[in-house]
Each structure stands twice: as C-alpha cells, then as structure tokens.
Structure 1
Amino acid sequence: MPHSATVDLSGKVAVVTGSGRGLGLAYASALAAAGAAVVVNDIDEDIARKAADSLVEAGGRAVAEAVAVGTAEAADRLVDRAVSAFGRLDVLVTNAGILRDRVLWKMTDEDFDAVVATHLKGTFTCARAAAVRMREQGEGGRLILVGSPAGQRGNFGQTNYAAAKAGIAAMARTWSMELAKAGITVNAIVPVAATAMTETIPVFAPYVDAMRRGEPLPDALRKGEGFGTAEDCAALVPFLASDAARDVTGQCVGIGGDRLALWSHPQEVATAYAEGGWTPGTIAAAWHTSVGREPQSVGIPAPRLPETR
C-alpha cells in the first residue's frame, strides 16, 4: 500500500453539480469528509435535499440547490448559494450529466443539443461563474471537470456524449493556462465506476449485481479494467481540491477500482516530409509506408473479464 498523507479541506467551500446520487454524491461526500462545506446540486429538489441532509448527518456541512445546469442563470445560482451559505467558493466539481445514446443516423437534434447543453455548456457556464468569483476573492481555487473514457477515445452510439467530454478535456487544458496567474488549477477527471450509466452495459451487469449482494469485484475488474464503486473514484476529488495538488493543473486523471492513471494529451505520433509540400498523389503513395503505417485505435477497449458463474 502507498503511504498516506493528510488532506484537510477545513474552511473550503465546494459546489458539486449533479451530486444528488451516484458519482456526484460520492464526490460531495468525500469533500465533506475532508472538511469542506458543500453545495449539493440536483435537478430534483427532494433528491438534492436528501443528499445534503445525509452529509450533515455524517457530520459535514452542506446545503442543497435544485437547478438544471446549462444556463448562466443556473451557474450564478449555484455560486451565489455557496457564497450566501458559507461566505465563499473554493472548489467547483462539474459532474452533472445526461445520456441520449443513438447512432449518428438516428440521433436527433434534440438528443444532441440536450447532452451538449448539460455536459459541455453546463461545464462552461459553471466554470465561468466560479472563476469570476475565485478571481474576485484573490486566493486561488480549484476547477475539477468530469470527463469520460468516451471523450478520450470515442464510443459507439455516443456522438453527443463523446464530443462533449472531449470538449471538457480541451477546456481543462485551456483554462489551466488562462487561470494559472490567479492561482486556480483546472483538471479533468476520468472516472470509471458502477453507476446508473454503466450498469446497463451487458458485460458489467452480472458483476454489478454481485456487488450489490455484497460480493467483492474481481481483480480483473478492479485492477485490469479500473472498474469499481463510485466511492472508489471519490478520493481523487479531495486530493485535487487540496494544497497537495497545488501544482497539478491541465491534466486528465483517470480513476476507478484500484487504478489511478494519467491520460496522455493528443500529440503527433508520426511525421513525414515532402520537399516543397504535398500533393494528393504523393500523400497516397507515401501514406501506408510513413505516417499511416500504424494507425491509432478508436473506441473504449472491450473488457477482458473472467467467466461469471
């Protein structure tokens, strides 16, 4: 086991969007356990309130704010709630999201717009409002954006979701540069866990059912696939919110099960040169023996799991 350091967020205030249940609630709970006051957000008022109450019952400080993220008005409400309840804002976790999976030729404008509005625009509007407040405070801050393996590699049937999550990774890199002078770090996390979004995947279903019966997940999942519970992913958020991560910014960090990983940024992996420039014909002649010799793979690799009983 690695050595452990103390992560203390006492005096810090966080907003976690989409934190009424699942991964969002796990993030909010981990922040509260580390000492931060938390604004719990969900579109459903009862769910948001119950989640906030659960943090308070566990000894934390929390309030609820029910609003659908996406608009500037919603973002301002969340920031204002943090300031009115706890006096400041130090951490924003943009977790809120929805799915509208369809293959390209069946995806409607509404399917596309709804996912992009929640994930991509919701991340943008909330981060903008948080950045304005953090810069006014003049004491730095943390933006923790929630990405996905689909945004890193693409995923069948998820044009809208993969595009939004890829955009979130790009925004993390961009904002890390723009906000560095203000002492605000910006990172994207790439969680993999048993949630309402993943439990419908057939290959994982029997393991999720077994987990709910109290059976442990096998190492092939926890280590090989980096797949576990929502709580397994939560530790990364207090770390990135803490002083221990003051020099970590512009990164995409994966977590799930027993695995912690750093995702690479896109970069050129092969180059070729033609004196005076390229023509369509010279590219065609050179492609398979130069830059196209080892094409990059796409999609999330299929899990390699043991047979279930």
Structure 2
Amino acid sequence: MTLTSKTLTGKVAIVTGSGRGLGLAYAQELARQGASVVINDVDQLIADDAVASIVTEGGQAVAVVAPVGSTATAQQLVAQAVESFGRLDILVTNAGVLRDTVVWKMTDDDFDTVINVHLRGTFTCVREAAIRFREQGEGGRIICIGSPTGQRGNFGQTNYAAAKAGIVGMVRTWSMELARANVTVNAVVPVAATAMTDTVPFFKAFNDAAARGETMPPFARRVLGYGTPQDVAGVVGFLASDAAAGITGQVVGSGGDRVQLWSHPEVVATAFETGGWTVESLSEDFSSLFGDKLQSVGEKLPELPAELQPVAK
C-alpha cells in the first residue's frame, strides 16, 4: 500500500471484517485515500497486523476486536471511531461467515449464525452509523457488501443468499430514509480470490496464480470479472468519496477488470383476465403468456478454456 492519493483526507471510516481479504483491501484503500480507519476482526493478532499494514505506510488506524452482529459491537465501533479520530464519515459493512449446506441438512445454528453476522450485523452497524451521521449533520457514506449469491442464488447457500439479498433490500430502503441527511447508501457485489473462493475447484487455478503474485489471465479478469481484493477496493474508495455524492441506492458489481451496475428487480411481463385469474385459466394460459420469460437462477459460469482446465492426475 502506498499513500499517494488523498481524496478522503480528514475522513474517518469503519470497515467491519477488515482483518484480511476483501475487508483489509477496502481498509487499506480508504487509508491510501487519506481516511483514518477503524479495523474490525475477531482475532487480535490479525487485527493488529491489519492496523500495522496501514500505520507503517503513514496512515492512521485502530482496531476493535469483536464479532459483528450485536448492538453492543456496533456501538463499540462507532464509539471507537469518535474517541480515536473525533468523528465518523464512512461505514463499510463487510464482516461475514459461511455455513454452507443444502437446505435439508442446514441446522438452525447454520442459518442463525450467517444471518446474525451478515444481515443483523449490517443492520446494527448501519443503525449506529446513521445515528452518528444525523447528529454530526454533515452527511456520510454507507457501503454494504453484497454477493452474486444474493442476486441470483447459489446451491447450498440458503442462509448466505437470504442475508445478502436482504442487505440489498435494506440498502434501497436506507437510501431513501437517509437522503435528507445527505447520507448515500450503496451495495458493492465483489468477485475476487479470497478464502471464501479457495475451496471452489472452478477458481483454483486463478487463486493459485494470485497466491504466487502472478497476474490472472484475461479470461478470469474480463470474462469472469474475477481478480484480487485490491481490484474491488477502488470501487469502495470511489463510493466513499465526494465524487460519488449523487450515487445512492445502487448495487455496483466489481471484480478483475470489470465494473457493473446491477438492475433493481422489475416486472418482465403482465397479463390481465377480466374477473381475475383462476387455477383453470392460469393452467391454460400461463405457459403461452410467460413461458419464454421465466427467469434463470444461479450463475452460469462459462467453460474454462482448454489451457486452464485442471490436469487429471
């Protein structure tokens, strides 16, 4: 990390789940832009290393070691920002965990743990930040991290899909509620080589290349929009800046060489039946009216080029 650009000088940011991976990349980018940063992780050593990575480059950072989800942690994060740096301007809600399994094997704890960290944790942190922003009266930036799974679903991720879809729904609501306070609220949908994708065979070659410090091939960076955490950090830094003051309630995808704007759900077809629809009329007409407009689910990944196919052992 090299501290060169200073578009966020004087700003203070909280980044949850920022000890490593995407969260650390976001925190480092905000610091590079001049912001003072509150790091958050559940591991003291990892949090300390993250703080050191910023401080040794001339930035300012402190850590709050606590699991995201509870109101107490959210209050602690905001209080630490104010105590250490005097204010709060930016919140990035990134903390997350996975408990993947198919629905008939998913336990209550599997479901509740993911919902608590991702969905409730986003809510509690945003609520505390919104209170602080409104008290300060100078606006603010809220950036919530979503996922392609929340947009399209994914096999074995009932809990994660529900949480990430819920986050986007909250972002749209908060963008309306906080508009008069000059607080923008947006979601970022990242795609990057992280610990969460290390176990996916499709991405193994790309993750291995990134771990070796090699540049990922154009197929990954362009076709898949798949790169490093640092590739996504620029979008977060931009949305946190004054340059993004007019952007709110949006879902921005980022990964590799690609940036995308996701649409909001929209009606794709409408039909009317005088007197209302019955089981009989729907049985007769549904296919002809809507059959060619039914929506797909999940992500359809392209086939790997021959040179990137794993070698059989």
Q: Does TM-score exceed 0.5, indicating one fold?
A: yes
Q: 2:6–2:32: 8 Å Cα contact kept in structure 1?
A: no
Greater CA deviation, 295-304 or 17-26? Answer: 295-304
Q: Deviations over 1:49-83 (max 9, x none)?
A: 11011100011110011010000000000000000
Greater CA deviation, 249-258 or 297-306? Answer: 297-306
| CA RMSD after TM alignment | 1.0
Alignment of 1:1-309 (within 5 A): 8-307=7-306, 308=308
Q: Report the Cα offset of residue 238 of structure 1.
A: 1.1
Q: Secondary structure at the match of 2:202?
A: coil
Structure 2 CA distance for aligned equivalents of residues 173 and 292 of structure 1: 30
Greater CA deviation, 276-285 or 96-105? Answer: 276-285
Q: Report the Cα offset of residue 13 of structure 1.
A: 0.2
Q: Report the Cα offset of residue 303 of structure 1.
A: 3.6
Q: Report the Cα offset of residue 302 of structure 1.
A: 1.8
Q: Report the Cα offset of residue 177 of structure 1.
A: 0.2
Structure 1 CA distance for aligned equivalents of residues 233 and 129 of structure 2: 21
Structure 2 CA distance for aligned equivalents of residues 267 and 7 of structure 1: 39
The alignment's TM-score, normalised by the length of structure 2, stands at 0.95
Q: 1:270–1:291: 8 Å Cα contact kept in structure 2?
A: yes
Structure 1 CA distance for aligned equivalents of residues 126 and 268 of structure 2: 32
Structure 2 CA distance for aligned equivalents of residues 75 and 260 of structure 1: 30
Q: Percent identity of the aligned residues?
A: 61
The alignment's TM-score, normalised by the length of structure 1, stands at 0.96
Summarize the Cα distance change of 1:273–1:7 in structure 2 as closer, same or farther, 3 Å threshold: farther
- Which residues of structure 1 form unaligned runs of 5+? 1-5
- Which residues of structure 2 form unaligned runs of 5+? none
Structure 2 CA distance for aligned equivalents of residues 214 and 129 of structure 1: 39
Greater CA deviation, 244-253 or 290-299? Answer: 290-299
Count residues in correspondence.
304
Q: Which amino acid aligns with 2:161?
A: A
Greater CA deviation, 293-302 or 24-33? Answer: 293-302
Structure 1 CA distance for aligned equivalents of residues 199 and 296 of structure 2: 25
Structure 1 CA distance for aligned equivalents of residues 213 and 185 of structure 2: 36
Structure 1 CA distance for aligned equivalents of residues 222 and 216 of structure 2: 10
Structure 2 CA distance for aligned equivalents of residues 238 and 119 of structure 1: 21
Q: Report the Cα offset of residue 211 of structure 1.
A: 2.6
Structure 2 CA distance for aligned equivalents of residues 22 and 202 of structure 1: 19
Summarize the Cα distance change of 1:248–1:7 in structure 2 as closer, same or farther, 3 Å threshold: farther
Q: Deviations over 1:125-154 (max 9, x none)?
A: 000000000000000001100000000000
Q: Report the Cα offset of residue 214 of structure 1.
A: 3.2
Q: Secondary structure at the match of 2:201?
A: coil
